[in-house]
A = this chain, B = another copy of it.
Amino acid sequence: MAQRHPDRTDPTADDALARYLREQATEFLRALRQHRERGTEDTEAPALALRRAARRISGTLHTFRPLLDASWSDGLRTELAWLSGTLAREHGYAARQERLLAALQRLSGASALPGQGGYGGAGSSDAAAAPKPAERVAPAQGRSTLTVGAAKAGALLERQLTLSRTRAHSTALSALGSSRFHGVADSVAVLASEVPLRKEASAHRLEPFAADLAARLDEAVTALPLVRAGHPYNAEALVHGLAADTAPDSQDAPWHQVRLLLRLHRYAAEVTAATGGGPVHLLGAAEALDRHRDAAQAASAAAAAARTPRISPATAYALGVLHADQRHEVEAARFAFQGAWHLTPEASGALRTGGVPSP
């Protein structure tokens, strides 16, 4: 206890870290129990909770690696990444299907749900920006106004994504019954009772590790083309929309990377909250990057569907419009991110010094 700061009454770093990991491990085990109890039905919520806890454990093991038994936690992280990835796939296909079919409805002038009038963000909270009541129609009615191409594109996407989703569901179920998964569950059970901290962990504070992460985040955000993103309608996201190579991936990658760093940063803030670090208000920025990722994947799915052999030109045309629409959503999300980021204390480097953001 000699290293404990004399002015602080907070728990020590190792206490806070161990408590957070134990909590998340307990969450993981609880979600797993629920998932098993429900059998094959209605497992979406427990699967979400499993992934949520897995991501937090994995992220925390990563950020505070020097305080933990390295080989044990590296091994667990690899296994948690496999598990999260496997569980996320089904949810991803479902979300992509929902997003693409909603976009097709909107593109057909038949937005059935509130808030589908635009790309979300600033526009949707404005009364004048919301679809007029007369424009809102029931989904069934909306469907009938689809052109042949839009209807065929919707049916094609529904078929392809449902198939992918079903496969992902089977894979996830197999994974949860595998001996590999039982190994992960055993490791997490260990974590729930006994966090493998290194002996010298109590000599450290958590903040420097969180600050390292904040610095990496800051650096990654600085490398983004934020000036361009701040100019609406810069047409950047679609600039390679018809290129032969997989160019969108290369322009999207730095944004995806910032999304992951923001997530790690949020988890680190959850850990350090107990030792004086304040809550951080990065939700707007994080949501924008989630939207960025979802739209980018939806745009890819539309492009992939257009490569299906023997589709009609009308279907292909609708998929082209849909692809471009989702790439513009990517651009809209970047615009929203730069707006949200400039409102955060991170933008002024406050978090790097471990400071508590002002309200």
Using a CB–CB cutoff of 8 Å, the interface residues on chain A facing chain B are 104, 106-111, 117-119, 121-123, 126, 128-129, 145-147, 149-150, 225, 227-228, 231-236, 238-244, 247, 306, 311-325, 328-329, 331-332, 335
Can you list 27 contacts pairing A with B, beta carbon distance less than 8 Å?
A107-B240, A108-B240, A109-B243, A109-B247, A110-B243, A111-B239, A117-B236, A118-B231, A118-B235, A119-B235, A123-B231, A126-B231, A128-B227, A128-B228, A146-B242, A232-B233, A232-B332, A233-B331, A235-B325, A238-B321, A241-B321, A241-B325, A311-B313, A313-B315, A313-B316, A320-B320, A324-B328
In the complex, the chain B residue whose C-beta lies closest to that of A135 is: B239
In the complex, the chain B residue whose C-beta lies closest to that of A103 is: B235
Which B residues are CB-close (under 8 A) to A315? 313
Please measure, in the bound complex, the distance between the C-alpha atom of A235 and the C-alpha atom of B321, giving whole angstroms.
12
Checking B111, B122, B146, B316 against A232 with a beta-carbon cut-off of 8 angstroms, the contacting residue is B122
Which B residues are CB-close (under 8 A) to A128? 225, 227-228
Which B residues are CB-close (under 8 A) to A233? 118-119, 121, 123, 232-233, 328-329, 331-332, 335
Please measure, in the bound complex, the distance between the C-alpha atom of A100 and the C-alpha atom of B287, giving whole angstroms.
35
Which B residues are CB-close (under 8 A) to A320? 316-324
Contact A117 B240 (CB under 8 A): no
Residues A335 and B232 in contact in the complex (CB < 8 Å), given A109-B243, A146-B242, A241-B107: yes
Contact A232 B232 (CB under 8 A): yes
Please measure, in the bound complex, the distance between the C-alpha atom of A231 and the C-alpha atom of B149, giving whole angstroms.
30
A106 to chain B, nearest CB (A): 6
Please measure, in the bound complex, the distance between the C-alpha atom of A324 and the C-alpha atom of B147, giving whole angstroms.
16
